[in-house]
Structure 1
Amino acid sequence: MAVTVDRTTTDEHAPSPPARVSLTPGTVPGLLDGAWWPRSRDLSRELPALAERLDHSWGRVTHVTVNPAFWPVIPRKVPVTGHTVHVGWFTNEQDPHKLLVFSYTAERLDLLIIPPEADPAAAARLMSGATTPGGLLTASRLMEDERAADDARESRDREGEWETEGGTTPPPAGNPTGPPPSARGM
């Protein structure tokens, strides 16, 4: 009997790569304070790297809240180097694309959550939009705008591909190639 060992599994105790997070510069208030681009939808695995990064630059993270639409499993507590982060969730009250982060100093950060499967160019655009000082777009609105822009880019790409493959532009709707139907019988 042959035994196959799966070596693609990850060690739960292996350190996570640094968090991909960007905070709004300055103190101009906006609807978002930055963006976070996790590598997976595993909050237990992703939150320690984010908390470690924020602990050093912003203050010790004590709590986070999420909307369960983004995370398949939401742990109540996540161990982080030197402390524990408590996790809460709100289904209707919290934007599904937003993470609320709280510190010991009772400060709060509202971060856009960029889906882990996002294209790097889209993630860069979303990070830029979320870190605009005084920004007035919600997390969901930024995501909707990015989806709409992506759809428009895909449409232009399809049209360009069709044109370069020998397609021709169809005649305008008001310009039939023959005489109008009422003039044919005269």
Structure 2
Amino acid sequence: MTTAQQRGATAEAGDRSAARLEMKRTGAEPGHVDGGWWPHSTDLVAELPALAAALEHRLGPVSRVTYHLDTWAPAERKVREGDRTVRLEGFRATDPHTIMVLGADSRRVSLLVVPPEVSESTARAVLLGAADATTATVAEILAGNGVPEWR
């Protein structure tokens, strides 16, 4: 079993139908994030189906996503995801490099978001850093891998 399979759902760089996601192992030391996600774009509505599918085993059906307003393209406040409605809540006080995904029963994960334009090798390093048993901050994980502030 590979590390990616042990940690969470991942996808090859060219496969847009699956989320490029690395999660901390269940029971890992809590930190600032529960894993990392490398979306293909800043269109949260377009990225949501793959992310929701990848997180369903951990959260159940996704009910809400909170994000930084200036990081993502404008989005409707409610979107249909399969047979349910997902609330998208944008805030400016949220870290621009994170999103919070909540399941229908209030389980949640905080994800470090790698900017879509980052190279694959850098993104993979950041994803592994976010999924590692670390208590490093989002800024420390990004800076440690040479990713500049995303504003």
- For the structure 1 residues 74 and 141, does the alpha-carbon distance in structure 2 shift closer, same or farther, using more than 3 Å as the test? farther
**Aligned counterpart, 1:136:** 135
**Aligned counterpart, 1:102:** 102
After TM superposition, the score normalised by the length of structure 2 is 0.80
Distance 2:111 2:45 in 1: 17
Where 1:147 maps in the other structure, the secondary structure is: coil
CA deviation digits over 1:5-47, x for unaligned, max 9? Answer: xxxxxxxxxxx51111111012122211011111111111011
Structure number having the greater strand percentage: 2
CA deviation digits over 1:98-133, x for unaligned, max 9? Answer: 010111221110101111111111011001110012
Where 2:102 maps in the other structure, the secondary structure is: strand
Deviation at 1:63, TM superposition (A): 0.3
**Aligned counterpart, 1:52:** 53
1:145 counterpart letter in structure 2: G
**Aligned counterpart, 1:67:** 68
Distance 1:140 1:73 in 2: 24
CA deviation digits over 1:149-186, x for unaligned, max 9? Answer: 9xxxxxxxxxxxxxxxxxxxxxxxxxxxxxxxxxxxxx
Deviation at 1:69, TM superposition (A): 2.5
Q: Mark the structure with the bigger radius of gyration.
A: 1
Distance 2:147 2:92 in 1: 25
1:147 counterpart letter in structure 2: G
2:114 counterpart letter in structure 1: I
Maintained 8 Å contact 1:43/1:75: no
Maintained 8 Å contact 1:52/1:80: no
Deviation at 1:75, TM superposition (A): 2.2
Deviation at 1:80, TM superposition (A): 1.1
2:17 counterpart letter in structure 1: P
Runs of 4+ in structure 1 off by over 3 angstroms are none
Distance 2:147 2:23 in 1: 24
**Aligned counterpart, 2:120:** 120
After TM superposition, the score normalised by the length of structure 1 is 0.66
**Overall identity of the aligned pairs, in %:** 34
Where 2:145 maps in the other structure, the secondary structure is: helix
Distance 2:147 2:32 in 1: 21
